[in-house]
């Protein structure tokens, strides 16, 4: 997500301190669901509202973006979501082994060029990091508009210890749409009649 550098981001983040994962990690014993690259937070906040018994955590590397997600959570007075400004490559520094029950990857940067594939959030390097923090039997749910990135993800998940149990190239045409929560990007793509790919992969 590209943006102009915003003024006052640090101050705005300070005003949302209760929502900072650094200072106030996940408290209850409920399962923890983690979104990586949460953008402005529509998805994680709607899920937190829908499932008060789940602890949600969201990681985003751009502070000017995550601050909007934090402000959204604060305005909704959500009690079960925390935000972490970090790169996904450092997740192992913040979450304990086996702490996470589900990872959501929504419209991750597709990195079109072959020499950039190792930056994709489903490259083997990242899957190894996720495997450390995921519980056995936990799952990764992924949505994207990009078929190349989707096929790459299916292949790498299958080769790296995940069982891709559900997948579709057209989420809106089929059975997995029930209970779907739209992200900001998704809303935009759906309005343009673009197809959304979806998969659910279980750590075996
Ligand atoms: N999930 C949101 C935003 C999608 S854009 C939506 O669907 O609307 C992808 C987001 O992932 C961007 O905000 C980008 O900053 C973030 N991102 C990309 N690589 C990341 C990484 N390595 N670690 C954390 N966040 C990352």
pLDDT in tens, 50-68: 999 999 999 999 999 999 9
Q: pLDDT grade, residue 29 (50/70/90)?
A: confident
Inform me whether the pLDDT recorded for 191 exceeds 60.
yes
Residue 180 to residue 116: CA distance in whole angstroms: 30
* Residue 176 in contact with ligand 1 by CB distance below 6 A: no
Q: Give nearest CA residue, ligand 1 atom 2.
A: 39
User: For the domain 9-13+30-203, what is the CATH code?
Assistant: 3.40.50.150
pLDDT band for position 6 (50/70/90)?
confident
Instruction: Assess whether the C-beta atom of 88 lies below 6 angstroms from ligand 1.
Output: yes
Q: Which residues contact 113 (CB under 8 A, 6 or more apart)?
A: none
Residue 139 clears pLDDT 70, i.e. is over it:
yes
Per the prediction, the chain carries an average pLDDT of 95
What order do you get walking across the sheet with 32-36 strand by strand? Answer: 81-85, 55-60, 32-36, 100-106, 134-144, 197-203, 162-168
In angstroms, the Cα distances linking 43 to 91, 116, 163, 182 are 20, 27, 24, 6
Domain edges within the chain = 9-13+30-203
Among 109, 145, 163, 170, which one carries the catalytic annotation?
Answer: 109
109 pocket-lining for ligand 1 (C-beta < 6 Å):
yes
What's the pLDDT band for 37 if we cut at 50, 70, 90?
very high
State the distance from the centre of ligand 1 to the C-alpha of 69, rounded, in angstroms. Answer: 12
Q: What is the pLDDT of residue 26?
A: 73
Give the position, in ligand 1's atom list, of the atom nearest the Cα of 38.
1
Q: pLDDT value at position 25?
A: 67
Asked whether residue 5 carries a pLDDT value surpassing 80, the answer given is no
109 is catalytic: yes
Q: What is the pLDDT of residue 27?
A: 65
Q: Is 123 in the pocket of ligand 1 (CB under 6 A)?
A: no
Query: Is residue 189 within 6 Å of ligand 1 at its C-beta?
Result: no
Q: How far is the CA of 181 from the centre of ligand 1 (A)?
A: 17
For residue 121, how far is its CA from the centre of ligand 1 (angstroms)? 9
């Amino acid at each position: 997500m590209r943006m102009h550098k915003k003024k006052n981001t640090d101050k705005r983040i300070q005003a949302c301190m209760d929502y900072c994962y650094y200072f106030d990690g996940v408290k209850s014993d409920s399962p923890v669901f983690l979104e990586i690259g949460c953008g402005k937070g529509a998805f994680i906040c709607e899920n937190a509202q829908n499932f008060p018994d789940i602890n949600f955590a969201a990681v985003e590397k751009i502070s000017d973006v995550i601050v909007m997600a934090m402000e959204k959570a604060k305005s909704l007075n959500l009690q079960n979501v925390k935000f972490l400004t970090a790169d996904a490559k450092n997740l192992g520094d913040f979450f304990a082994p086996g702490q996470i029950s589900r990872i959501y990857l929504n419209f991750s940067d597709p990195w079109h060029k072959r020499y950039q594939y190792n930056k994709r959030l489903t490259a083997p390097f990242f899957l190894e990091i996720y495997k450390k923090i995921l519980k056995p039997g936990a799952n990764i749910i992924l949505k994207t508009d990009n078929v190349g990135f989707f096929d790459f993800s299916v292949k790498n998940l299958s080769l790296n210890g995940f069982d891709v149990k559900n997948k579709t190239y057209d989420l809106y045409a089929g059975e997995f749409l029930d209970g779907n929560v739209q992200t900001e990007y998704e809303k935009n793509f759906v309005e343009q009649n673009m197809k959304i790919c979806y998969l659910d992969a279980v750590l075996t």
